[in-house]
Structures are given as structure tokens and as C-alpha cells.
């Protein structure tokens, strides 16, 4: 049975209608999430900021008892629609359990989950420490596994050569490592580890830096429409000019020269596994 109640979240209600056209669970990310959770089949896991449930359903297909939580009603309705009646291995999959709530006020009992994940969502938390504290409260000797991007990683994206104001705005809104570390400690997590994440050559989840190796992806308006940075942080003039310059550089063989100063030292994104 699927449980849903929610308050709207404007940005993701805006892009939620077409989100799944270009966003699917990335196999490599699923593998690392499962490895870092390190749980047995059937154990209960909360996906905080689950969106349309791509990673929630992928981990449920691997045998974990997943529950997705998000603030966006449209995102949750999309997740609900895809979970009901899905087939896996010749048998009908379980409906995905979904709840609408804020990360800083989780509607669950203490120690009611064996693990939790949060993929590319902590920058949407209004109160990072309170949200981490809630995650720690609902965990039972388990891990919170986060996928995020640090500001210094973002400022090395070659996208900065074409959309500098958008990238700067995105980097400015992302929690840096000191803020994350302090918030984890104050929230009650005892230990945490980091693992760099690099974009695959052939991505299927087309989030912000998914086109690292395939820059032509950013010429597709449908791809840009489902990336929150393009949808919310890029002004019209910069977007138009940047797309046109990228198009011309690719056509004339100038892309490598235009982006030569940007390096991926330290990974494109970062996994964090925090233990209570």
C-alpha cells in the first residue's frame, strides 16, 4: 500500500512533469549506494528527497524495504505511478511506500530504519543540521549515505566556460565540506567516510555534470529542462549565449581548447557514508 501526504515544493513541482524523460537511476551509483549501506535483504531504508523514486525503486529491486520521502507532490505522484504494477523477474513488484514531508521533521519513530540515503538533495535542505539530526534519530546503528557535489568540485566543471554565472550560483548554494562535517557531528553521527565519484562515459541519469564526456547533451532543451541548475539558476541571456557558444565550439573543433583549464581532480561528485 502507498501512503502519501505532502506540501508542494515549487522548483521540483515545476520540473517534475518531465523529469523522468531524462532521469533514470545510474547503475554505478546504485552499486555504490548498496555497498555503502551494507544491509541485508529486507532491511528498511529511507530515501530522503526521493524525487520520482528512481533510486528508491532501484534499491527496492535489490531487496531492500525502501520508503521514499519528498516535499514535492508532483514528484511523489510520479513515483507512485511508476511503482504500481511494475514487473520484475516475471512477478509484480511491491508498491513503493511514499511519504510527503520535510527532511527536518521526519514523521517516523526513533531507530525505525536500518539505513538512509540522500542523492543530490542536501542543498535543498533549509536546515542542514536539523535534517541530519532527524536522519540520525530514525537510524538504528545504520548509515546515512549521501551523494552531493562540493563547491570546489563544481567550480572545476567545464560547464563554467559556458555558463559561469549559473555554475557560480550553484556552487554558492552547495554546502561545503566544513559545513557538512560540523552538521554531521552536531547531529549525532560518530564517524563518516568520503568516496569521490566520477561521471561515467555513457550516463543514463542526466543530472548537472552528466554531459562531462558528452557535451552535446546540453544542446538538448529536454535535458536542460530536467536539471535544476538550468531550470532555476540560469538566466535567459546566459543560457542562450552559452548554448550557442557550445554548439559553435563543438561544430568547429574548439571545445577541447575552450575547456582545457578545467580538471576533475578529486572527483565530480562525492559520496559520504555517515554512521550513528
Question: C-alpha grid cell for residue 215?
Answer: 557535451
pLDDT of residue 1: 35
The tens-digit pLDDT sequence of the chain (276 residues) is 334 333 334 444 444 445 555 668 999 999 999 999 999 999 999 999 999 999 999 999 999 999 999 998 888 988 888 765 433 333 334 678 999 999 999 999 999 999 999 999 999 999 999 999 999 999 999 999 999 999 999 999 999 999 999 999 999 999 999 999 999 999 999 999 999 999 999 999 999 999 999 999 999 999 999 998 999 999 999 999 999 999 999 999 999 999 999 988 899 999 999 999
pTM: 0.89
Residues 200 and 211: their CA atoms lie apart, in Å, by 9
Max CA pair span of the chain: 59
Q: Which residues contact 149 (CB under 8 A, 6 or more apart)?
A: 120, 174, 208, 209, 268, 269, 270
pLDDT of residue 265: 84
**175, 148 in Cβ contact below 8 A?**
yes
Amino acid at each position: 500500500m502507498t501512503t502519501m501526504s505532502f506540501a508542494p515544493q515549487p522548483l521540483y513541482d515545476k520540473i517534475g512533469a518531465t523529469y523522468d524523460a531524462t532521469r533514470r537511476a545510474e547503475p554505478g551509483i546504485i552499486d555504490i549506494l548498496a555497498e555503502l549501506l551494507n544491509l541485508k535483504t529486507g532491511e528498511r531504508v529511507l530515501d530522503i528527497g526521493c524525487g520520482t523514486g528512481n533510486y528508491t525503486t532501484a534499491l527496492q529491486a535489490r531487496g531492500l524495504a525502501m520508503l521514499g520521502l519528498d516535499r514535492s507532490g508532483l514528484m511523489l505522484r510520479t513515483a507512485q505511478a511508476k511503482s504500481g504494477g511494475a514487473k520484475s523477474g516475471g512477478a509484480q513488484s511491491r508498491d513503493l511506500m511514499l511519504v510527503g514531508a520535510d527532511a527536518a521533521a521526519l514523521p517516523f519513530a526513533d531507530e525505525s530504519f536500518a539505513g538512509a540515503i540522500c542523492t543530490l538533495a542536501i542543498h535543498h535542505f533549509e536546515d542542514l543540521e536539523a535534517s541530519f539530526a532527524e536522519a540520525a534519530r530514525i537510524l538504528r546503528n545504520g548509515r546515512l549515505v549521501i551523494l552531493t557535489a562540493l563547491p570546489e568540485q563544481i567550480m572545476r566543471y567545464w560547464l563554467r566556460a559556458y555558463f559561469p554565472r549559473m555554475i557560480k550560483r550553484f556552487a554558492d548554494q552547495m554546502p561545503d565540506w566544513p559545513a557538512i562535517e560540523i552538521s554531521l557531528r552536531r547531529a549525532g553521527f560518530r564517524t563518516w567516510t568520503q568516496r569521490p565519484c566520477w561521471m561515467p562515459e555513457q550516463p543514463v541519469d542526466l543530472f548537472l555534470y552528466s554531459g562531462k564526456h558528452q557535451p552535446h547533451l546540453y544542446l538538448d532543451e529536454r535535458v536542460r529542462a530536467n536539471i535544476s541548475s538550468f531550470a532555476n539558476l540560469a538566466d535567459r541571456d546566459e543560457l542562450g549565449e552559452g548554448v550557442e557558444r557550445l554548439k559553435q565550439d563543438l561544430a568547429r573543433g574548439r571545445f577541447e581548447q575552450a575547456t582545457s583549464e578545467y580538471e576533475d581532480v578529486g572527483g565530480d561528485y562525492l559520496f559520504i557514508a555517515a554512521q550513528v
